[in-house]
């Protein structure tokens, strides 16, 4: 477990710091760039995905911290889950905690990727991409395990 814990902490720390440096640049310097397909444009999200629950803006950071704490307790109790999913868990926590820190630091999540070619998409950040990557990895592992179990039953 020690090796996996160290690796997951290293992944967490690298992604968390990288994401916060990028967000600091957008929040404090004029890093906006207009492109034909995608632009880099500072925006603050006071809700969650697609600004849902923005009416909870001031309380959302505490609700999310509570959910992270519940997740940590669950992983402490179920160490086997951590052992199996330690990489996506590190990615989830890095992206999630980085976005939560934004709420405390800037009052909302710092977003900057803006897709506008063909259709307009929500503005998002690297942490959002990392969270989605983590979920995709978890789904992939689940599908792989289900297929293996199905194959072993036959």
- Active centre residues (catalytic): 111, 128
What gap in Å lies between CA 24 and CA 45, rounded to an integer? 15
Q: Which helix (H) or strand (E) holds 43?
A: strand 38-45
In eight-state DSSP terms, residue 52 is T
Q: In this structure, are residues 6 and 88 in contact, taking their beta carbons and an 8 Å threshold?
A: no
Q: What is the largest CA-CA distance in the chain?
A: 60
What gap in Å lies between CA 129 and CA 122, rounded to an integer? 12
Residue 32 phi/psi, 5-degree rounding, is -65, 135
């Amino acid at each position: 477990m020690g090796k996996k814990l160290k690796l997951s902490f290293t992944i967490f720390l690298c992604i968390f710091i990288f994401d916060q440096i990028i967000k600091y640049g957008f929040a404090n310097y004029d890093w906006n760039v207009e492109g034909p397909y995608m632009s880099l444009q500072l925006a603050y999200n006071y809700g969650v995905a697609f600004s849902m629950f923005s009416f909870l803006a001031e309380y959302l950071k505490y609700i999310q911290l509570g959910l992270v704490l519940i997740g940590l307790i669950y992983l402490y109790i179920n160490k086997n889950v951590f052992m199996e999913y330690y990489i996506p868990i590190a990615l989830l926590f890095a992206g999630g905690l980085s976005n939560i820190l934004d709420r405390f630091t800037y009052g909302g999540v710092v977003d900057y990727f803006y897709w506008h070619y063909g259709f307009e998409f929500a503005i998002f950040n690297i942490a959002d991409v990392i969270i989605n990557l983590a979920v995709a990895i978890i789904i992939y592992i689940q599908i792989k395990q289900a297929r293996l179990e199905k194959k072993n039953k036959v």
